[in-house]
Amino acid sequence: MQPDLVVTAKPIGGGMPLGALLGREKFTAVYGIGGHGTTFGGNPVACAAGVAVLREIVGGGLMNRARENGEYFKRKLLEVKNSNPRKVNDVRGLGLMLGIELAGPCRDITKSCLERGLLITCTRDNVLRVVPPLVIDREEIDRATAILEDVIQSHE
């Protein structure tokens, strides 16, 4: 099943202010070009950035790399879990959207990670949310995993 309409913004501009409404051809008569005014509409620099992002997504293999690196990252995090069974309850996620459920609160863990250069967030009081950029490479994943393991092991 495919959607009739898709609205996207932040990621499509690669950091530039850009959004898009994508739809099936039958909707073009209802909502055609110029049918919506916008502050940033028609910005040629933002549109060029969007074209570059789409080329990377479609032709550059970004989604396949993200999927493969997500699987790799999850395997690495499962190793952290297996090394710390009393501290890590679960590792879950899809692609590069990963969660690490801890046995205790995670706020101090995120603070220690940040002090070491790793930005992660704490949700639901005991789940570390790991959502790296899709362009992350395996060396960065290994570095992030090492920081996480060190921090988790050092916290009681």
β 88-94/20-23 pair status = unpaired
**Judgement on whether residues 117 and 78 belong to the same structural domain of the protein:** yes
Q: Are residues 49 and 72 in the same domain?
A: no
Asked if 84 and 112 sit in the same domain, the reply is yes
CA angle, 142 then 133 then 39, to 5° = 165
Q: Is 92 helix (H, G, I), strand (E, B) or coil?
A: strand
Calpha distance 127→50 (Å, rounded): 33
- pTM of the entire structure? 0.78
pLDDT at 2: 86
Helix (H) or strand (E) holding 129: strand 127-130
Residue after which a domain boundary falls, among 44, 59, 74: 59
Q: Do residues 22 and 67 share a domain?
A: no
How many domains would you assign to the chain?
A: 2
99 has which bridge partners?
A: 92, 129
Domain of residue 149, CATH code: 3.90.1150.10
pLDDT tens track, the chain, 156 positions: 888 888 888 788 888 888 888 888 887 777 666 667 777 677 899 999 999 988 988 888 888 999 999 999 999 999 999 999 999 999 999 999 999 999 999 999 999 999 999 999 999 999 999 999 988 999 999 999 999 999 999 987
H-type alpha helices, the chain? 44-59, 62-83, 107-115, 138-154
Same domain, 69 and 116: yes
Domain extent at residue 66: 62-154
DSSP 10: G
User: How is the beta sheet containing 121-123 ordered, strand by strand?
Assistant: 88-94, 97-102, 127-130, 121-123
